[in-house]
Amino acid sequence: MPLNRLLSRRRTMPGFETAAISIVAMLVLIYMGMHIAVALSLISFIGVWIIKGNVDVAMNHLWGAFSKTIDSSVFAVVPLFVLMGNLAGIAGVGRDTYDVAQRLIGRMRGSLAIATVVANAIFAAITGVSVASAAVFAKLSVPEMLRHGYRARFAVGVVAGSSVLGMLIPPSVLMIVYGIISEQSIGDMFIAGIGPGLLLTGAFIAYIVVASYKFPALVYEGGKPPVLDATNRPESDSIRPLWSQVSAVVSLISIVIGGLYTGVFTAIEAAAAGAFAAFVIALCRRSLTWASTLQVVRDSGSITAVVLFLIVGASMYSRMLGVSGLPTQISEWILTVEANFWLLMALYILMVIFLGTLIDSISIMLIMVPIFMVVFKPYDIDLIWFGVVTVMAAEIGLLTPPFGLSAFVVHSALARRDISLKDVFVGSGAFAAVMFVVLLAVVAAPLIATGLVYLKL
């Protein structure tokens, strides 16, 4: 008997049970080390095969996801923003943002830590990728803070904690993914991230100031700030004037964010304009050699391929869930028990944060959003606000063990034997707590996220 006929005669399993088992199986595979996109695709294929009892249907499901999911021009924003970030990194914009931020802080305790947060916020408006910020500022900021008497745990905690701004302050790869999944305007998602991003930046700075003055033992070795901290200035301060450093940052932010907010650019056009501007800056600074250009292209292609493969895998999984009927059954069950909206929202946030201890933010969004969009549909929620809440909850996972991607990136970038991964997690714990408080504020006051969007409209 042909194999395909043999496989097609398998007995079917009820969709709800299959979908429930698939969630557990997927988490097990991911925790065992399988790539999230491979796990999503494999589980989806097997799930449809079991539910329908026909391998041909499962193959069509697989082919449909790969051929139709990313055939829209909207996906062009992913490689363009990634390319812009990589070109900005090659041009030294990351170092410039740190130097500029340090000059603007003035003489106060915790100035280097505050400068790192401000620089991360500025850099986030250029790259849109948290791990890029974590890698850049682990090398730039941590050695400087250690040299000026900061505790190692606090120094790495500042870098890991403030790196999450890269996924909140636009442009954000995570918001692009959410906009695609939820069919919301990517430009509106970007604008909605500005308020929460600035609020979180201010909250991080407030924590650093309070810790520096009230609990110096948490910040400095020996509990006493050295005199050098208050008078520190970057070495490049005497080499180039401030404007030569800040002009590139201001130009990129103005082109991308200004173009989006004023309606001059669509999200794709803003990404293209930003990438071209970053290319011009790199050329003007003579940062592009044949080797560095090739490296930028390779890195951009690699990151883009990973993101798009994740989206394809998630599309397969969403289709499998639709075939199983799980989202509909969950929604019907919620309506039956008349669950309170705030209870559901609390459950959703806790689930997203928990998954953050196991898998990366994009994967969490790709798995959770399709299910809970159906769950929350009867409540007629603002999907832009829901997206910001989801991004913030998922980003907390970047700082939590055992996965904590930003923590791993900081530890790997430093490659120092005297700073362990445990030090990074402990140091970033306070910043994760601050972020959770800001998340609660956004949940309680949606206008923090949607206010600028409404003004634009």
Cα–Cα distance measured from residue 428 to residue 432, given in angstroms and rounded to the nearest whole number = 6
Query: What is the distance between the alpha carbons of residues 205 and 108, in angstroms, rounded to a whole number?
Result: 12
Q: How confident is the model at residue 7 (pLDDT cuts 50, 70, 90)?
A: very low
**Average pLDDT of 104-108?**
65
CA distance 178 to 167: 11
Q: Between residues 150 and 40, which one has the greater pLDDT?
A: 150
pTM assigned to the model: 0.70
Output the six-digit token pair for 424: 């990074």
Q: Which residues pair with 150 in a beta bridge?
A: 220
Q: Determine what percent of the chain is predicted with pLDDT higher than 90.
A: 10
pLDDT at residue 229 greater than cutoff 50: no
pLDDT digits 0-9 by tens, 293-334: 898 888 878 777 776 776 677 677 767 777 777 666 666 666
Range of lowest pLDDT (126-135, 306-315, 340-349): 126-135
**DSSP of 363-380, one letter per residue?**
HHHHHHHHHHHHHHGGGT
Distance, CA of 428 to CA of 155 (rounded, Å): 9
pLDDT for 62 equals 74
Q: Compute, in degrees rounded to 10, the torsion defined by CA atoms 282, 284, 285, 286.
A: 80
